[in-house]
Chains A and B, each alone.
Chain A
Amino acid sequence: MKVLIAEDSDLSRNVLSSILRKYDFTVIEAADGQEAVEKYLESDPDIILMDLMMPNKNGYDATHEIKSLSGEKFIPIIVITSMSETDALVKSIEYGADDYLNKPYNADAIHAKIIALFRIKELHDSLSNNRSELERLNKQAESELLVAEHIYDSVLSQRQTMLPQVRSYMRPVTTFNGDILMTAYTPSGGLNVMLGDFTGHGLSAAIGAIPAGEIFYGMSHKGFSIGDIVVELNTKLKRNLPTNMFCAACLIEVDKERTTVSAWNGCSPDIIITDNAGKVIHRVASSHVALGIASPEKFDRKVDILSIKGDECIYMCSDGLLDARNKEGIKFGMQNYLSAFSTDSTESVDLDDVVETFFKFINIDDINDDISLVEVNVDRGIDSWHADDFSDVNSIRLETEWALDLSFNIEGLKEINPIPLLVNFVNGINVIHGHKERIYTVLTEFFTNSLEHGLLNLESSLKSSATGFMEYFDLKESRLAELQDGEIDIHLAQKKIDDNWCIIIDVKDTGKGFVSGKDQLSLEDNVGYSGRGIQLVEQICESVEYNDVGNSVRAVYALNKNK
């Protein structure tokens, strides 16, 4: 350890010097204040003993100057005083000194004092090192956060053109929201909405949001159902996220005709559906574990399907909303949430009313979770209830004949829904820009009829009530699992008919067919199969023809009809 002694009396300096050397300190000597400052800069001592009365800059000024020069660094200065010099002692502390020594010198006391001050210096140095390390890490974290925010935005926000049906209140705790809201139209004109709540907040939560966003948007645009989407989300999140991280999520899908809502709720508060007066008519409680927990084999993709009139509102929220507390520490909770919908007011309840009820209840300073509330009003923005821009009919088209035949046996039908793959194929050969939605509708309608009515003999009349709907889909699942054989053949072709390029769609199944007697009656029956399904197909296509038993159907779709 290096000790600087600043003392103008040669005798005093020598005495001190010899005492310190005895204790194995390295000693540097200065004979006046100015020299003390210079020696300090030159030799960087660990501690300084400073006499006060010195020529050429006194001890006070030298102390003050050295303290200013040392900046953030701590250099202990011990001033040397006589017993009687109390005023001088006080003054020296004001000038920045840390401690004092009385003359005459006592070797042990000097040693003890130096050791004690050195200990404080070490503590100071380590704190100050920690602090600069923290500052460095903080800066690094900030810059990494900026990069991550950019990536996050490019995946989620830029595609987040909020659809007119959807309104939301979202309040993140940090820059990054652990809650994500995504909305997309499907190629058949339906609407998919997902509200996800990742474990934790900030960056760690946002890491999961990035793959989730890619999957949700990608699969929605390709026409996969929310059942398919949750399977893919779960598989990906299970593989990528650490065990203790997951995503509580609600996904809903509203069909184009606004007759059904499909809902999947894993680990989120109840999804609430209200009628046009704002009264709660359905609740979909969580019936699954969150995404990213179950192994793909154990994952349950089952969706709840509810029939609606077309003027309902659907509400989804994150648990942050229900877990927020008031000043007494009481949670907002499901009861208060529901009560927000049952006001005496004659006006219909909407998102703003629920948010208002929430803020009247809770203590805003005490919110420590991301809070999200989403309203999907299926009646709003009907004009924009279309995914594709149909004006885009004149895009590049391959004007040539082609045909495609596909057969699905019973094993295949149990495993996959081939429709999205087919639509992708047809899109891939760049034939039907602007027609995607319609072709998808025709294919889906035919395929669903073949599977559900042709092969599985399901009665569409079941679907006329809400409970029947559930029964219908349960029955579909169980019958499909039991079915031993059956096949659906799909034939797709592009041909020129009367100078018009057309897509021919044939779907045939090995079922008995639905025609029991008169053709006309059967077609009307079939209308009932899935609401306005076949009617819609007839509107879209040039022609729709069933064979005489009704297990085979052909539609002709004209590609230049819109010109």
Chain B
Amino acid sequence: MGINVTSNDESGEVNIAISGRFDFSMNNEFRKILVDSSGTDSSYLIDMGAVDDLDSSALGMLLLLREKAGGDEANIKIRKCQPDIIEMLEMANFQTMFDIS
């Protein structure tokens, strides 16, 4: 349960692995990443493989990350989503704003 952040020094990509229920309880931890990470020129890879549920505040956190990473220019990959997580992200039409698979 929680968030694990590693950054790849070579590519400059920030890896965020999330597990458990991605909801408001992760808000503070997630905001900390936003403060710590270097900013608009970074690209992000979010590993959702261990996420079993998410709510609208999780969507809100992803939007915050997107804004931090440059808004429409942001490079954020969301990976390894389970089928029902994909379904939820698609209902929110997040595939138009994030690279999801």
Question: Does A pair with B?
Answer: yes
Within 8 A of B (CB), among A284-313: 285-290, 293, 295, 298
Whether B93 pairs with A287 at a CB distance below 8 angstroms is: yes
Interface of A is mostly: loop
How many Å lie between the Cα of A437 and that of B2 in the bound state? 57
Given A199-B56, A200-B56, A323-B55, A244 contacting B64 (CB threshold 8 A)? yes
Q: Is the CB of B60 within 8 A of A286?
A: no
Q: Which residues of A contact B92 (CB under 8 A)?
A: 248, 267, 286, 289-290
Within 8 A of A (CB), among B45-63: 55-57, 59-61, 63
Q: A270 to chain B: closest CB distance in Å?
A: 9
Interface pair B91/A286, CB less than 8 Å apart = yes
8 Å CB contact of B64 from A243, A248, A290, A323: A243
Say whether B93 contacts A288, CB under 8 Å: yes
Q: Using a Cβ–Cβ cut-off of 8 Å, how many residues does chain B contribute to the interface with A?
A: 17
Interface range for A: 20 to 34
B56 and A319 contact, CB distance less than 8 A = yes
Nearest CB in chain B: distance from A369 CB, A? 7
Contacts of B64 in A (CB 8 A): 243-244
With an 8 A cutoff between CB atoms, is B67 at the interface?
yes
B28 interfacial contact with A, CB 8 Å:
no
Give chain A residues whose Cβ lies under 8 Å from the Cβ of B97: 289, 293
| B15 to A: closest C-beta gap in Å | 21
Q: Which residues on B sit within 8 Å (CB–CB) of A288?
A: 93
- Confirm or deny: B8 has a beta carbon within 8 angstroms of a beta carbon on chain A: no
Q: B6: CB under 8 A from chain A?
A: no
Tell yes or no: A223 within 8 A of B by CB. Answer: no
Interface of B, secondary structure class, is helix
Could you list some 11 contacts between A and B, CB below 8 A? A199-B56, A199-B57, A243-B60, A243-B63, A244-B61, A246-B56, A246-B60, A287-B93, A290-B92, A295-B72, A323-B55
List B contacts of A369 (CB < 8 A).
55
A244-B63, A246-B59 given; 9 more Cβ-contact pairs under 8 Å: A197-B56, A243-B60, A243-B63, A243-B64, A244-B61, A245-B60, A267-B91, A288-B93, A289-B94
> Which of B24, B63, B91 has the most C-beta atoms of chain A within 10 angstroms of its own C-beta?
B91
> Chain A residues near B11 (CB, 8 Å)?
none
Binary contact readout A243-287 vs B (1 if CB under 8 angstroms, 0 otherwise):
111101000000000000000001111000000000000000111
Once the chains bind, are B56 and A293 in contact (CB under 8 Å)? no
Q: How far is the CB of A326 from chain B (nearest CB, A)?
A: 14
- The B85-101 residues at the A interface (CB cut-off 8 A) are 91-94, 96-97
**Complex: chain A residue closest to B66, CB-CB:** A243
Per the bound structure, the CA–CA distance linking A547 and B57 in Å amounts to 59
The 7 closest A-B pairs by CB, nearest first: A244-B60, A289-B93, A267-B92, A199-B56, A286-B91, A244-B64, A243-B67
